[in-house]
Chain A
Amino acid sequence: MGWWRLGRPAAARGGLGGSAVPRAGLKKFVLPPDYSGITIPERPKLKFMEKVPAVPKVKREPRQLRDIRGPSRVATDFTQGQYGILALGGGYLHWGHLEMIRLTIGRCMDPKNMFAIWRVPAPYKPLTKKSLGHRMGGGKGPIDRYVTAVKSGRLVVELGGRCEFEEVKPFLEQVAHKLPFPAVAVSRQSLQQMREEEEEKRLNNQNPWTFERIITANMLGMRRYLSPYDLKLKGRYWGKFFLKHRV
């Protein structure tokens, strides 16, 4: 009872040096996903967004770029859907962007098994533009178009239904690349994982000097060169940009 080597399984496992010999094992039958609690609403496709609000604004508004700056406090989590597009930077979405999103998603999704919802409002903020070729002065220009402000960390659209992330990811990524700010297609799990990684990074940072610590204690008088908004933004945001690699 001994002419075959009893150490065979160890070699097949592939240790530090060698490559594992592939062996056929038992086929693992994965159960199909359970879509029992999902109902597709009556109008599964994204609804049409107006270029101009129903009551157009008469008074011209100041620029207020603070609606682009910093992290978003609205629409940061999923409501009905399972997959979505997350904005990783601030920017303005105008009617052309919204139409592109609506048409691309409407074309690529399956209305019988998937549904999509907007997480941004229709354009509400009026932007003025002076006519071309004129010198400075002469007052503020007339209203040119309406836009929606999006801060980083906000969901733009949400998708749900009887589908997997891999089915939905290609066209969500395609849409995400066309937006005026950096965006990424996410699912509930991937978003949670992103947040957990961020938290872990923050906790296991070996650098004893963090932006937050220096600015709150005003070490070396750094607040002279920093904005009071940096107390909240903590060095992760600069203008409309979100610095993902920080902290």
Chain B
Amino acid sequence: MAALSGPASWRRGWLPALHFIRRGSKAVTRHWKAMHFQRQKLMAVTEYIAPRPAVPQRCVAPRRKEEEEEEEYGYARLLRRQVEEAFRDNRLIAVCQYNYLPGEDMVLMRHYLRKHKIEVKFVLNEIIRPVLSQSRYKNLLPLFVTRNILLVSPETKVKEMLRVLKGVPQVNLLGACIDDTILSRQGVENFAKLPSLEASQGQTLGTLTLLPSQTCSVLQHATVHLAALLDGHIHQLQAGAGQTGSPAGTEPAQSTGTQ
């Protein structure tokens, strides 16, 4: 910073702005070069101010992004298809709540149920809920809340199933869908008390054929009754008019022949 005399410096082309260039270090330094105070003020004024929404972020319930996991998983699609098939192919579908069962007890229960052709399926609520809501089994939706198992069977052997489940206290029957009829627990127990299909069919047939079987006897009842009365009458007359002779006996015989 040379001390320049007043008028001589202007004549040499000295400008007040150029004064700053000769002062201090170069523009690019290894250390952090100290900024002019005015520049510091400018940097402070032009700092970034973040936007502040009217409702703070943490007061708004976060919207979970669930779109990407809906149809992307082929595994989920496969499980859904399996569930649909199970509902289609089986007549008996019982929904039970599953509490933890030790391994060997589980195997035993499955074995006993398998003997009656009942299969045990574990289902995930997140798979079965969309399947049910789109099919006609919407009323089964409230059952699928906690850990569930499905007992499916092509035949309806409810009595045996109830017997097995009674022996396993950790599995509770919630409801069932038998032949597209939704039944509660009470309904299932009542269903078990019903006689079997063959017996009830036989009973119905018997009731129905009861009346036709009586038609014949009803129609013939009057004539048979009359014949019996007349026979009795004959016997009476024969017994009473055996002493008076045979012509009295032949007249009623002729009159009965003309009738």
Contact = CB atoms under 8 A, between A and B. Distances in A.
B181 to A, nearest CB: 15
A205 interface: yes
B142 A209 contact: no
B55 to A, nearest CB: 13
12 contacts: A1-B142, A1-B174, A4-B145, A5-B145, A6-B142, A26-B124, A27-B75, A28-B69, A206-B52, A214-B46, A238-B32, A247-B48
A201 interface: yes
B145 A1 contact: no
A66 B79 contact: no
Interface of A: 1, 4-6, 8-9, 15-16, 25-29, 65-66, 68-69, 90, 201, 204-207, 209-211, 214, 222, 224-227, 229, 235, 238-241, 245-247
Contact of B51 (A26, A204, A210, A222): A204
Contact of A206 (B36, B50, B69): B50
Interface of A is mostly: loop
A130 B75 CA distance: 72
B73 A26 contact: yes
Given A68-B28, A235-B43, A26 B126 contact: yes
Interface string B140-174: 00110110000000000000000000000000001
Contacts of B47: 207, 246
B175 A1 contact: yes
A212 B175 CA distance: 72
Contacts, number: 95
B33 interface: yes
Contacts of A25: 124, 126
Interface of B: 17, 20, 26-30, 32-33, 35-36, 38-39, 42-43, 45-52, 61, 69, 73, 75-76, 79, 97, 124, 126-127, 142-143, 145-146, 174-175, 184
B46 A207 contact: yes
A9 B73 contact: no
A240 B30 CA distance: 8
Contacts of B30: 240
Given A9-B145, A206-B50, A207-B47, A241 B32 contact: yes
Interface centre among A5, A222, A239, A246, by most chain B C-beta atoms within 10 angstroms, is A239
A132 B52 CA distance: 57
Nearest to B47: A207
A66 B26 CA distance: 11
A68 B69 CA distance: 48
Contacts of A69: 27-28
B48 to A, nearest CB: 5
Contact of A29 (B28, B33, B73, B143): B73
Nearest to A208: B49
Contacts of B50: 204, 206
